[in-house]
Amino acid sequence: MRIALLAPLWKTVPPAKYGGTELVVSNLADELVRMGQDVTVYACGGSSTTARLVQVIDRPLYDIVGGFCFDSVPFSDLVELKMAFDGATKGQFDVINNHMNMSLAPFGSYCPVPMVSTNHSSMAPDSKQLAALSGESMYVSISNAQRKLAPSLNYVATIYHGIRTNTFTYDCSKHGNYLLFLSTMSREKGADLAIEIARRVGMRLIMAGNITDRKFFRSLEPQIDGDQVKFIGEVGHAEKNKLMREAYAYILPMRWQEAFGLTMVESLASGTPAIVFDNGAAHEVIDDGHTGFIVSSVEQAVEAVGKVPEISRAECRRQAVERFDVSRMARDYLDLYQRLTNH
């Protein structure tokens, strides 16, 4: 099949460090190519893929703007969409899969070939307006929980994210004595609660990730002493895997409705149990009592830390490979593309 994947332009594909959507697009594109498909990726300059790469802008929007800004649709996103539509009009593609801003999804109704939009985040407050504009535009949800936030959209599949589990090493025989919080430093992700949990159980906490809310992060700084609580910023793949592999447990006390939770899967692939709050897709990713614990409060999280030895690290790894490997994700997407195009 001739498949066009539209990536966000904020970060390269794959991202050097932070960039969950860009990582998913990278994994999907390369795996589809490995499966013998003809894939074109629209992305920013600096990207790298085994698929055909079309450079929309010469460098990441993040570098041009000096950070993220999701208040409006960048003009470059419209350019990317127009470029893909032009390619489809010329007969270059059988299907287009949009992974960009969901505000562009309604344009799928005007696409000369089937276009489906994968939503990578929790729906914005204007999801009802989006649904009203969408008509027959098609959507992929990344969890069943995500659908509940915007139930009136025209969903054609739920496809869980996949990672290259073979790039995550693990050692079931040993682990470190620290807790790991690897996410954006925000209230929504529960960075402050992670600190509270670590202090209450008397364990070291390593915090890694980008700072999205500087005012919030400044409120945490007095508690980040570099000893019991250590912040190391963003990390690349190798360091992320090492941190996860050697952690006693991964904790994600999220306050918001997490649409999926890629870091939870990465933790499992590293053989490390996850303790996560009962929000969003937690129950679809974590097998409660088998690959980690799903809790509803700091008190329950503290209790769960004490039960981590009950979890088999080999089982964490097994479920990650079986349920969340990139090969399964690519097969699911290819099945969808074939269904939409009658191939």
Q: Whole-model pTM?
A: 0.93
154 lies in the same domain as 207:
no
28 lies in the same domain as 154:
yes
pLDDT in tens, 33-43: 999 999 999 99
CATH number for 245: 3.40.50.2000
Q: Tell me, what's the pLDDT at 19?
A: 76
Q: Tell me, what's the pLDDT at 96?
A: 98
β-pair partners for 155: 139
Give the three-state DSSP class for 126.
coil
249 lies in the same domain as 107:
no
149 lies in the same domain as 14:
yes
311 lies in the same domain as 194:
yes
260 lies in the same domain as 303:
yes
149 lies in the same domain as 298:
no
Sequence-separated (6 or more) residues with CB below 8 Å from residue 275: 249, 250, 251, 252, 253, 292, 293, 295, 301, 304, 305, 308
* Domains: count for the chain: 2
pLDDT in tens, 318-331: 999 999 999 999 99
126 lies in the same domain as 174:
no
260 lies in the same domain as 218:
yes
Domain hosting residue 137, numbered range: 2-162+325-341
Alpha-carbon distances, residue 118 vs 121, 212, 291 (angstroms): 9, 23, 27
236 lies in the same domain as 330:
no
217 lies in the same domain as 120:
no
Q: Tell me, what's the pLDDT at 149?
A: 87
Average pLDDT over residues 229-257: 96
Per-chain mean pLDDT for the chain: 93
- Retrieve residue 44's tokens: 């920013």
23 lies in the same domain as 157:
yes
